């Protein structure tokens, strides 16, 4: 199941140019005093000290045991904004749109039809047709935002286990179809670059804006890459 946000607004489509089986998670930010803060480099959380040690060996940073009640209570602020990863294919990415009220999921759709609850599944979700209106509704908590999950392995330590990135990035949602198409063409495990890309611009009112967006670059077949290890 995938987001269908372009069916109603095709002109917005960019032109082509712990209780689970994961051992850790990648994050582009963190909470500080209850406020979301973006980070320049990847933050990794895990519940396994051996995994944490391996991450610091590969990506730098130091291990910190937090007071989080999550199973992934160990945190590593890495020194890398780009990491080579291996995705199994398009099935490594799942996406939908969700609106939460605290811990209650009150709207769940693919941009065109409801995905849950069961009695509403397949019915029109009546989300705004235009992309800008979707974003405005999500920003004001009147509509759902992207919920994207990417599962992958580290190319430099394939056997360490599966990691997951969970993001609500509209920027990634807008190009997710390109990533999935590129993965589909490879037809197997793909070597990719998982990045926190810096975006900087000045608004019409003269305000400087900068932020990091998650980016997935599909590079080549993983089988080809391991045949020439210097490309890993």
pLDDT for position 67: 83
Residue 128, CB-side half-sphere exposure with 13 Å CA sphere: 14
Q: What percent of the chain has a predicted confidence (pLDDT) above 70? A: 94
User: With contact defined as beta carbons under 8 Å apart, do 164 and 194 qualify?
Assistant: no
Q: What is the mean pLDDT of residues 115-144?
A: 96
Question: Does the structure show a pLDDT above 50 at 16?
Answer: no
Rounded to the nearest integer, the mean pLDDT of the chain is 92
pLDDT tens, residue by residue, 152-172: 999 999 999 999 999 999 999
pLDDT for position 210: 84
| Three-class secondary structure of residue 216 per DSSP | strand
Instruction: Express the helix, strand and coil content of the chain in percent, nearest 5 each.
Output: 25, 45, 30
**What residue ranges do the domains of the chain occupy?**
22-91+150-160+170-231
- Alpha-carbon gap, residue 147 to 116, rounded angstroms: 14
User: With contact defined as beta carbons under 8 Å apart, do 26 and 163 qualify?
Assistant: yes
Question: Does the structure show a pLDDT above 70 at 178?
Answer: yes
Enter the pTM of the model: 0.88
Q: How far is CA 58 from the centre of its chain?
A: 21
User: With contact defined as beta carbons under 8 Å apart, do 209 and 128 qualify?
Assistant: no
User: Which position has the higher pLDDT, 225 or 214?
Assistant: 214
Question: Does the structure show a pLDDT above 50 at 17?
Answer: no
pLDDT tens, residue by residue, 40-88: 999 999 999 999 999 999 999 999 988 888 889 999 999 999 999 999 9
pLDDT for position 199: 87
pLDDT for position 104: 95
- Count of Cβ atoms closer than 10 Å to residue 79 Cβ: 13
Question: Does the structure show a pLDDT above 80 at 10?
Answer: no
One DSSP character per residue, 23-91 reads EEEEEEEEEETTEEEEEEEEEEEES-HHHHHHHHHHH---EEE----SS--EEEE-S-SEEEEEE-SGG
């Amino acid at each position: 199941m995938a987001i269908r946000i372009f069916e109603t607004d095709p002109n917005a489509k960019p032109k082509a140019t712990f209780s689970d089986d994961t051992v850790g998670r990648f994050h582009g930010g963190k909470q500080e005093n209850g406020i979301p803060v973006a980070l320049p480099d990847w933050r990794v959380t895990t519940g396994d000290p051996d995994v944490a040690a391996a991450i610091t060996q590969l990506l730098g940073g130091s291990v910190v045991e937090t007071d989080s009640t999550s199973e992934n209570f160990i945190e590593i602020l890495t020194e890398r904004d780009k990491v080579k990863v291996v995705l199994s294919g398009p099935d490594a990415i799942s996406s939908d749109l969700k609106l939460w009220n605290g811990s209650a999921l009150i709207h769940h759709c693919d941009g065109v039809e409801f995905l849950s609850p069961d009695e509403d599944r397949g019915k029109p979700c009546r989300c705004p047709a235009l992309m800008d209106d979707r974003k405005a509704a999500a920003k004001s908590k009147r509509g759902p935002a992207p919920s994207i999950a990417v599962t992958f392995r580290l190319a430099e330590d394939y056997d360490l286990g599966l990691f997951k990135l969970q993001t609500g990035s509209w920027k990634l949602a807008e190009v997710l179809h390109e990533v999935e198409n590129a993965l589909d063409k490879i037809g197997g495990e793909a070597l990719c670059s998982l990045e926190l890309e810096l975006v900087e611009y000045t608004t019409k009112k003269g305000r400087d804006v900068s932020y990091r967006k998650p980016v997935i670059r599909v590079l080549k077949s993983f089988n080809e890459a391991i045949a020439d290890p210097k490309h890993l």
